[in-house]
Structure 1
Amino acid sequence: MMIIRPIARRDLADLLTLASKSGIGLTSLPQNEATLSARIERALKTWQGELPKSEQCYLFALEDTERQQVVGVSAIEVAVGLSEPWYSFRVGTQVHASKQLNVYKSVPTLFLSNDHTGHSELCTLFLDPDYRHGENGKLLSKVRFLFISAFREHFSRKVIAEMRGFSDEHGRSPFWESVGRHFFSIEFAKADYLSGTGQKAFIAELMPKHPLYVDFLAEDAQKVIGEVHPQTAPARKLLESEGLRYQGYVDIFDGGPTLEAEIDEIRAVKSSKLVKVVLDNAVVGSDAPAYLVANDNYPHYRALLVHAELYDDRLRINAETAAALGVEQGSQVRVITLIAQEKA
Structure 2
Amino acid sequence: MSFRIRAATDADLQHLYEMAKLTGGGFTNLPPDRHALRAKLDRSHAAFARVEGLVEDELFVLVLENVATGEVRGTCQIFTRVGDRHPFYSYRIGTLTQHSRELARTFRAEMLTLTTDLEGSSEVGGLFLHPGERAGGLGLLLARSRYLFIATHRARFADRILAELRGVIDEAGGSPFWDGLAGRFFGMNFQDADQFNAINGHQFIADLMPKHPVYTAMLTDTARAAIGLPHPSGRAAMRMLEHEGFRYEGYLDIFDGGPTMTARTDHVRSIAEARTDPVVTVAPGGTEALVATGTLAEFRCTFGTVAAADGGIALSLDAAAALGVAAGDRVCHVGRW
Flag whether TM exceeds 0.5 (same fold): yes
Of 315, 322, 325 in structure 2, the residue corresponding to residue 324 of structure 1 is 322
Q: Which residue of 1 aligns with 2:196?
A: 194
Separation in structure 1 between the aligned mates of residue 95 and residue 318 of structure 2, nearest angstrom: 57
Matches within 5 A, 1:66-105: 66-105=68-107
Q: Which residue of 1 aligns with 2:9?
A: 8
Matches within 5 A, 1:122-133: 122-133=124-135
Q: CA deviation at 1:113?
A: 0.4
Q: Which residue of 1 aligns with 2:292?
A: 294
**Secondary structure of 1:172's match?**
coil
Separation in structure 1 between the aligned mates of residue 311 and residue 221 of structure 2, nearest angstrom: 55
Q: CA deviation at 1:75?
A: 0.9
Structure 1 residues 179-232: Cα deviation after superposition (integer angstroms, max 9, x where no partner): 122111111011010111124322111111100001111112112111000001
Separation in structure 1 between the aligned mates of residue 51 and residue 276 of structure 2, nearest angstrom: 28
Matches within 5 A, 1:225-240: 225-240=227-242
Separation in structure 2 between the aligned mates of residue 57 and residue 171 of structure 1, nearest angstrom: 28
Matched, 1:47 2:48: yes
Using a 3 Å threshold, how does the CA distance of structure 1 residues 132 and 310 change in structure 2: closer, same or farther?
farther
Q: Which segments of 5 or more consecutive residues in structure 1 lack a partner in the other structure?
A: 340-344
Separation in structure 2 between the aligned mates of residue 47 and residue 185 of structure 1, nearest angstrom: 39
Separation in structure 1 between the aligned mates of residue 334 and residue 4 of structure 2, nearest angstrom: 16
Structure 1 residues 310-340: Cα deviation after superposition (integer angstroms, max 9, x where no partner): 456743234453233132102221110121x
Separation in structure 2 between the aligned mates of residue 129 and residue 105 of structure 1, nearest angstrom: 47
Matches within 5 A, 1:198-277: 198-277=200-279
Separation in structure 2 between the aligned mates of residue 102 and residue 62 of structure 1, nearest angstrom: 61
Q: Which is further off, 207-216 or 65-74?
A: 65-74
Separation in structure 2 between the aligned mates of residue 100 and residue 69 of structure 1, nearest angstrom: 70
Q: Which residue of 2 aligns with 1:57?
A: 59
User: TM-score, normalization: structure 2?
Assistant: 0.94
Q: Which is further off, 273-282 or 255-264?
A: 273-282
> Is the CA contact (8 Å cut-off) linking 1:274 and 1:313 kept in structure 2?
no
Using a 3 Å threshold, how does the CA distance of structure 1 residues 268 and 210 change in structure 2: closer, same or farther?
same
> Is the CA contact (8 Å cut-off) linking 2:113 and 2:212 kept in structure 1?
yes
RMSD: 1.8
**Secondary structure of 1:38's match?**
helix
Separation in structure 2 between the aligned mates of residue 50 and residue 33 of structure 1, nearest angstrom: 28
Equivalent residues, number: 335
> Is the CA contact (8 Å cut-off) linking 2:88 and 2:202 kept in structure 1?
no
**Secondary structure of 1:22's match?**
coil
**Secondary structure of 1:81's match?**
coil
Structure 1 residues 65-104: Cα deviation after superposition (integer angstroms, max 9, x where no partner): 2221111111111100112111010101112222232221
Separation in structure 2 between the aligned mates of residue 309 and residue 54 of structure 1, nearest angstrom: 37
**Secondary structure of 1:299's match?**
helix
User: TM-score, normalization: structure 1?
Assistant: 0.93
